[in-house]
Structure 1
């Protein structure tokens, strides 16, 4: 009898770890895998960890809390969730915490919390000072609330300045011109209005058709800096929606195309002690009056010097602890310049302490390739010293600048990137996440500033997304590996300590299959740069000699890494392909994230060149090293990956037997401005870059089988893209393409039925053209 039970156990175990993958199962995504936890946030008392975790279909049960003492996870009910902070916790230097929820603003100290402010209206907690004071915003008013005294005082108010005469109709303006008594009444009305305004708001700043983009006030409550924005009118694209409740076709507004007009911004100040205000002059910043170098391609005698500053956007303002200086980051809208500046409140002068310029575009971790997104920079605690990140060395690293001796020091260095860096409360070290050990890892370190030494805290292969407790003694982190989805762990914030796993997310169905750990390989591309890739090998007994090349999306994204891929459906699909005998390669092509500045900008002005060449070199790698038949290789990908797929078939006919292009850009002049203008500039100023980068201009070279799949509600890469390419193919008499449409799907599909249909068609394409099936 014992042997009988043992046989049953062994048989069940054998079945569990050798379960066969079914396409309709894996295309259910996280419903098949198990939903992983995310958005980890420490409670202010260091004893609780909040996170989101969708364990069932009831959305209101998504918010959870873990208690360190009881080691229990509790799903918060809707009433309890009302008490959660809207935007995290803020602290002052005395160790007191404040947060705002739907009830009001709370003060937390010594493990107790107290509701200190509850008022009608749109009051919002903006900033926490010491001495029991917080900064509130209510519309265009900014106020200081002293919760110990229970007093509230308005610091300043923005007033809308309008020209009412211009808003008058013709007859009203005519009467005012013709009759003196109406003029006298109008002048009295103006005088009374000014008196009322001055009596109500002693410290005001007039704005006209502007919005308040940034607002900061110093620790002394006597000086405010702010950014005022004026948005240009742009022509939005429109998308038809074909399936609606009323049975009619409706039009939806979507984004403008590349080349859209940029907003205009000014940085202004209000000296609250002296009630003086003004705009900050930026015209002296180095390079701000220089046009981009690429313009000389069209006119080699052009003078790049401008008479006025180029369009810029201030992205952040940070006052120092003393309140007499502010750190200001400014980026150009062409994204070729970034200025880090110090503003002196006494002299009202702006000094540039670091100017970063790239003839391609500014970007990288801690810097951001999006010109409206702030980078990682701040003051050292209680010092006239700042830190920031820069790609000056070719990789994103930390730098410091000391105001006293005007000295810049590179703190970290090497052929790796600092992905996240946070300074400790005492200012002695940074808490850093970096790919120091391997481009495909994100490990967690302590970097000691004075000695410039590293202490590795979390060292395994994979990715650590770390959240540090308020007292800096513990860390809660999400961790994942190539075949292990994200889970939350807890440990002390020091080396060589065993971590406790808090969550267990994967389903029995997911755990029943022995998921592959693809090998991270590398090869040199045509520019002699090292390219990394994931390689999925089938077992020798089922290997069929055919291969699939997957192309990740976004361009600036990393997928040849050691952690759980954001392309988790594709990861599972690649396992299924291997089971069928296919070899799969997933290349981090030129412009992918994680490999430094030169790799990132290698596609400047020519998408579909170096990035596509890496796919061609990868194809040759498969033939020479993996025994792949050169006549049985396919390529597929989505978004940027779909673009590369189409370009591969058009520019290298005969190299791939077929391709599947999902949600693909076919003409970059029809994509958005923020992404496209970084890489290709604008169609009006750099038409060559757009033409040599857009598949639609190479449509006449289609020979191999191309399957195009696209969601008709895609407001990112819009359906029009593939419609235009489809029409071009028709006019050119091409017959080796087909189009699969998904009427209700956006850029990232929502319905499992659409995912299943899409990948069933892709699998059928591969089997038909690469095997005898």
Structure 2
């Protein structure tokens, strides 16, 4: 192979690079550019001869464009817009691919590929979008909220719809004199108010004295001033239109109207360090229990000039109540008596190529059901094709997403019906459902080849912590492995599907670009080298990737960093990854790279460190994913305790000297560990922690714990604030003050609980300019100096 030209500048400072050992917090928490910057944002040229990417080997202020030619594997700098000029153009094709449509600058262009001639179809001040060919070769497109049809043979332009936006009605939300929403008008408001009073003595006192003074900050809903039209209007009111599609035969227009919930209150996060010198408010999300938006799907019959809404009452199981309601007899009685249809959000109507079949999928708002339904557009009749029901919540890789057509009769989708996310096809003409993949592993991503004969699949079939790229016939058969490197393989396929651009990494090796022919057994060639000489000067560990049985008999995977020279106290530290549904026990480079380096530093200083993919982590199937349903801080916490037991038995750890740390969900588990497993954990550092799930967001929390006013028992079992009285070990809490994800209010409320309980074995460090994901190296350094000091002062003494 030819010598790569980028080497002349890549490590010009190698001779002056300092030795990284011994590791210190100050060294590893610097701006990450000191490590070297991995390439990313891979894009193929349209001719499949060049890969463009962003990279920063010269350690500049920002990444620069680079390219590598397949013929030479030579890496060079690229011009700023070179990738865009050579990129594949995403045309919308007609049925024989002789014509293509493209939107540029808000106008529609037509390309005749045989003559390579481009014709501009529109030239207006309004934006035209969503252009497609009908099966007749006519072009339809959307302008504002309306659909137009252009006959390419005659040039006739016909307006198909006349949707009119109406003026919004006056909000019915109770408001104070200031115009802001008042508190106490929903079930969620009342639940939060009563919970606050039960938790805090200061609120009881102020309520007795006449209550809090002041007003609640709120928000106003957007308004819409579009003037309605007058010709045969279909009024949209104040609702938002989405997912407008035209059937390929031009007979039907389908769309969704989304009604925004009125009355949700958003939390204000004060920003103290501002350019103005004044405290400025950040208007952030609402809390779990908010009223979600609702949507209705409509079919407009163009020939009959008639409009109707799809009736969700005909969906099988629409009235089924979740099992958890049985724990609340009064609620069960009331909801059974009402016998109401559950609210459902249907996706966009999905037509096959010639318009002979239409399918629509939908998800219940309680997220217990996902349906795939056949639609008869002439009547609105919905017929069940597939129902996925989960008493916890619908999820898993690729699950609950819309279907994609293979041909005019078959589409594909993913399901966790077997306990793991696998690939299925369905023949809408014959009713045959076929499972194409199977086993105790997950299909993580699926891509259909251009000729629609092959699926390209990313999956963890070889091992839960290894991802490979495979191909599979759309008719099923053998799954053929294309990549061979052990670790993480993220593949970008070339337009001609002959080459793989592989973003590859290993445990101790950050991501690099490799090029490989799209053939089984072909060699992947490395074309970038990104890590700095200073980074390479340290021998980073490849942790022991182990598994153990938890107390429920389930396999749990972990990475262990054995102490280089164990301290006489034989201490151990548990690192708890964030996000809950995330995988960190794997053979590729961790997204928690700072924690990976910190764990190396702890191991250098005599600690044995373990990092566990606890129950609810991704990559292990449905039961692992949903194992925390209605009890966060249950199995996910006992997995940490069981992991420590394994360390004691196999790594000679002293069970009296164990600490733990983590951020976000990891911070939450740290709090639960200090409160509810104090016999196991002597000290803990909780970063940006959720302290009360009733104050987190709706989309994430309601899936796992339902809503506070419907399932209060789940929140009481799952929220650390209710167990604050059990704190025994030493606790350090660290939180950004402008965190718009886990609000600073969370840690403030827990702090007030500690004060009222008379606890004195805790500390709080605040970071005035940091959001949820810290940015400033000084903040990272301060955080981890405090964490290291905590462990040194508690686990070694």
Q: Same fold (TM over 0.5)?
A: yes
Which residue matches 1:140?
145
Of residues 210, 213, 216, the one that matches 2:239 is 210
> What's 1:197 paired with?
231
Over 3 Å counting, the alpha-carbon distance change for 1:104 and 1:489 in structure 2 is farther
Q: Select the residue among 317, 337, 344 that pairs with 2:376.
A: 344
Structure 1 residue 397 displacement after superposition: 0.8
Matched positions, count: 724
Q: Distance in 2 between matches of 1:146 and 1:745?
A: 56
Question: Cα distance 1:195–1:716, how it changes in 2: closer, same or farther (>3 A)?
Answer: closer
Q: Which residue of 1 aligns with 2:195?
A: none
SS at match of 1:700: helix
CA contact 2:739–2:772 (8 Å) conserved in 1? yes
Shift of 1:105: 5.9
- 2:269 is aligned to 239
Change (3 A) 1:163 1:458: closer
Out of 313, 316, 320, the residue aligned to residue 290 of structure 1 is 320
- SS of the residue corresponding to residue 437 of structure 1 reads strand
Distance 2:742 2:658 in 1: 27
Contact residue 129 and residue 143 of structure 2 kept, 8 A: no
Shift of 1:291: 2.3
Paired position in structure 1 for 2:390 = 358
**Does the 8 Å CA contact 2:253/2:302 hold for their aligned counterparts?**
yes
What residue number does 1:3 align with? Answer: none
Q: In 2, distance between residues paired with 1:87 and 1:668?
A: 46
| 1:367 is aligned to 2:392 | no
Shift of 1:746: 0.3
Alpha-carbon distance between aligned partners in 2 of 1:218 and 1:611, rounded to the nearest angstrom: 47
Counterpart position of 2:220: none
The answer to whether residue 563 in structure 2 is matched with residue 538 in structure 1 is: yes
Q: Which deviates the most, 24-33 or 598-607?
A: 24-33
TM-superposition CA deviations, 1:233-269 (whole Å, max 9, x none): 2111111111111211122111000000011101112
Deviation at 1:18, TM superposition (A): 7.5
SS for the counterpart of 1:453 is coil
405, 408, 419: which one pairs with 1:394?
419
Deviations 1:690-727 (A, max 9, x none): 01100000010111100000000001000000000001
Q: Deviations over 1:378-403 (max 9, x none)?
A: 1222x312221111111111122222
Q: Show the 5 A alignment for 1:685-704.
A: 685-704=710-729
Structure 2 distance, partners of 1:286, 1:649, is 46
Measured against aligned partners, the alpha-carbon deviations of 1:8-32 in whole angstroms (never above 9, x if no partner) come to xxxx99x988743332232135312
Correspondence for 1:268: 298
Question: In 2, are the aligned partners of 1:522 and 1:532 still within 8 Å (CA)?
Answer: yes
Taking structure 1 as the reference length, the TM-score comes to: 0.87
Match of 2:40 in 1: 38
**Are the aligned partners of 1:44 and 1:470 in contact in 2 as well (CA < 8 Å)?**
yes
- Counterpart of 2:452 (choices 419, 427, 433) is 427
Q: 1:135 to 1:581 in 2, by over 3 A?
A: farther
Distance 1:648 1:512 in 2: 36
1:309-320 superposed matches below 5 A: 309-320=341-352
Shift of 1:146: 7.3
Structure 2 partner of 1:21: 23
Q: 1:555-570 to 2 correspondence within 5 Å?
A: 555-570=580-595
CA pair 514-292 structure 1, distance change in 2 beyond 3 A: same
**Structure 2 residue 674 is matched with structure 1 residue 649:** yes
1:32 alignment partner, SS class:
helix
Equivalent residue number for residue 444 of structure 1: 469
1:129 and 2:160 correspond: no
Change in CA separation of 1:406 and 1:23 when aligned onto 2, cut-off 3 Å: same
Which residue does the alignment assign to 1:630? Answer: 655
Question: 1:664 and 2:689 equivalent?
Answer: yes
Show the counterpart of 2:278: 248
Encode CA deviations 1:51-106: one digit per residue, 9 max, x unaligned: 34355677776455544456555656556687698996655554566555658666
Contact map agreement 1:86 1:102 (CA 8 A) in 2: no
Alignment check: 8 A CA contact 1:556 1:592 kept = yes
The separation in 2 between residues aligned to 1:421 and 1:659, in whole angstroms, is: 41
CA distances 1:211-242 after superposition (whole Å, capped 9, x unpaired): 11212223333322211101012111111111
Which SS does the other structure have where 2:704 is aligned? Answer: helix
Superposed displacement of residue 158, structure 1: 2.3
Moved more, 135-144 or 390-399: 135-144
Structure 1 CA distance, aligned partners of 2:229 and 2:579? 56
1:302 is aligned, of 328, 333, 354, to 333
Kindly indicate whether residue 595 of structure 2 is the aligned counterpart of residue 596 of structure 1. no
Structure 1 pair 82–425 and aligned structure 2 pair: CA distance change class (3 A): closer
Greater alpha carbon shift after TM alignment, 655-664 vs 52-61:
52-61
Asked whether 1:417 is paired with 2:439, we answer no
Contact 1:60 1:77 in 2 (8 A): no
Deviations 1:596-617 (A, max 9, x none): 1111111110000111000000
Give the 3 Å change call, closer, same or farther, for CA 111–464 of structure 1 in structure 2.
farther
Unpaired segments ≥5 residues, structure 2? 1-13, 173-226
Contact 1:106–1:113 (Cα < 8 Å) also in 2:
no
Change (3 A) 1:459 1:565: same
